[in-house]
Amino acid sequence: MLRILIPVLLMLPVLANAKTICVFSLIGAQGELWELMTDYRIAATGWGEEIELRPFTNERVAAEDLKAGLCDGLMMTGIKARQFVPFSGSIDSIGGLHNYDSLRVMIELAAHPQLAPSMRNGAWETAGILPLGAAYIFLKDRRITGVEDLAGKRMAVFDSDRAQVLMCERISVIPELSDVSNFSNKFNNNVVDLIAAPATAYMALELYRGVGAHGMVVKLPVAQLTMQLVVNHDKFDDAFLNQSRRFLADHYDDAMRIVHAAEDEMLFVYPPPDKDRSHHEQMKNESRTFLIESGVYHEDAMRWLKKARCKVSPERSECSNGQPW
Amino acid sequence: MVSEMKTIRILIGSILLLSMLPAVAADTKALMERYRQSLDQQDAEGLKRLISPDASIRLLLEQPEKEPLVLTLTRQEHLQQLRALWRFSETETYELSDIRTASTNNGKSVSFTQHERYRLLGETLNRQSAITLWAIDENGMPLIVRIEALTREW
């Protein structure tokens, strides 16, 4: 009896000290993200922390539990993470990063110990970032061929993302306040005419139903979306946080394999019309500047995003214009 | 004398042209057979082998009361769309008609009408396209280097 009890009693302090990392995933405790976080939990043991994972299918509830201290950390969308750490949350900015190479550069930068102070905001610190895929515009009607056709159309926007609301107003689109748990239903059930979403949501949220036989997906990255692990800074030491950021950055390629596979499944995905191609970069630049000046994005983060864009594409005209972002 | 020489040159040119026509027709016939077979068998790899990796693919989608929407696709984007269509559609039919061939400066072209009908996601999608394929000879096989399609959907 004692032989059984003693090891159990010895383990109790360890379990009691286990940190709770909550994981937002629409499909709960399954799928690639959950598997990756299970690997993270095992790796964390080697960094001296016992981790308990808790799945959440509702991001809003998970964020409230993080604030209430019921989660010591939360893996959530970058858009949601912006309210906790505006610096890293600005990586998902509209027009912020133009391709996956620049996203890789930015995630690597964010994992560098020298940038660790920027990863912290008060009680919160970003302990790692994963790519979720580019956000594309999904339309119910492919006769919508330009921004001018969008006036008066309804778009499901995340209520936690002021950027989307401001952008809608800027192009005379009617914003329909939504969240990650209901925006796809609004699109699939004709409540809205368009949404922005990554390919990774396409099969999981059955967005092909909303696109139907006569809609389209515009193959133009509006933003590079991420999943970000935000933790309560006081619960983890700096060495752990650096290792955590390094671990997730090292899984960039694994996450991108999922993104590419999802993008390869999409139906009626077309590049923007030839007539608009030259305008798109200008439109994205103007949108980004408008949103920075509106106070939506973290200015220092936007400087780093420009560095990432110019590192992978030094030929971009902005790289020699002397502007900070 | 000059007139006779000119007549001979025209004659030789005509004979050369006539001798080339059956070859053009044979090549394009083989190309079209493989193209049709790839569509019927939903063989994206077979279609990929017919199209040059850097082919220019231009889609002109007719729009009501507007100029056609012009989209330029890569081979990968073009094939990805076909694969996705085949995956999502419950039924699909392809009819190719009005096939015409012509010689060009460095190869040949085939123009035809393609009618597609899909049943997908609870809806019917019809497409009628006027398609032109431009092909060059690559190791004795025709290789499509340019595709242009004017498409109407309903």
B122 to chain A: which residues are within 8 Å by CB?
212
For residue A90, what is the DSSP state?
G
Do residues A215 and A176 share a domain? yes
Q: Which structural domain, as residue segments, surrounds residue B52?
A: 27-153
The answer to the question of residue A284 being in a domain is yes
pLDDT band per the 50, 70, 90 thresholds, residue B1: low
Whether A214 has its CB under 8 Å from any CB of chain B: the answer is yes
The answer to the question of residue A111 being in a domain is yes
3-state DSSP assignment of residue A116: helix
Q: Which structural domain, as residue segments, surrounds residue A44?
A: 2-132+225-263
Do residues A15 and A102 share a domain? yes
Tens digits of per-residue pLDDT, A88-140? 999 999 999 999 999 999 999 999 999 999 999 999 999 999 999 999 999 99
Residue B20 pLDDT exceeds 60: no
CATH number for the domain that contains residue A152: 3.40.190.10
Count the residues in chain A.
Answer: 325
Whether A86 has its CB under 8 Å from any CB of chain B: the answer is no
For residue A322, what is the DSSP state?
-
Task: Give the end-to-end CA distance of chain A in Å, rounded to a whole number.
Answer: 67
Tens digits of per-residue pLDDT, B21-43? 445 555 788 899 999 999 999 99
Do residues A78 and A213 share a domain? no
CB contact under 8 A, A145 and B69: yes
3-state DSSP assignment of residue B104: strand
The answer to the question of residue B4 being in a domain is no
Of the candidates A214, A219, A273, which has its C-beta nearest B70's C-beta? A273
Supply the pLDDT for residue A53: 98
Supply the pLDDT for residue A2: 54
Supply the pLDDT for residue A277: 76
Tally of structural domains, chain B:
1
Other C-beta atoms lying within 10 Å of the C-beta of residue B33: 10
Whether B126 has its CB under 8 Å from any CB of chain A: the answer is no
Do residues A64 and A162 share a domain? no
Residue B19 pLDDT exceeds 70: no
Residue whose C-alpha is closest to residue A155's, from A175, A177, A183:
A175
Tens digits of per-residue pLDDT, A12-42? 544 568 999 999 999 999 999 999 999 999 9
DSSP string, A15-77: HHT-EEEEEE-TT-S-HHHHHHHHHHHHHHHHTT--EEEEEES-HHHHHHHHHTTS-SEEEEE
Whether B61 has its CB under 8 Å from any CB of chain A: the answer is yes
The answer to the question of residue A320 being in a domain is no
Do residues A190 and A70 share a domain? no
The answer to the question of residue A183 being in a domain is yes
CATH number for the domain that contains residue A252: 3.40.190.170
Q: At a CB cut-off of 8 Å and minimum separation 6, what does B81 contact?
A: A267, A268, A269, A270, B73
Task: Give the end-to-end CA distance of chain B in Å, rounded to a whole number.
Answer: 63
Do residues A9 and A117 share a domain? yes
Residue A269 pLDDT exceeds 80: yes
The answer to the question of residue B5 being in a domain is no
Do residues A28 and A71 share a domain? yes
Cross-strand partners of A136: A197
Supply the pLDDT for residue A278: 74
Supply the pLDDT for residue B65: 84
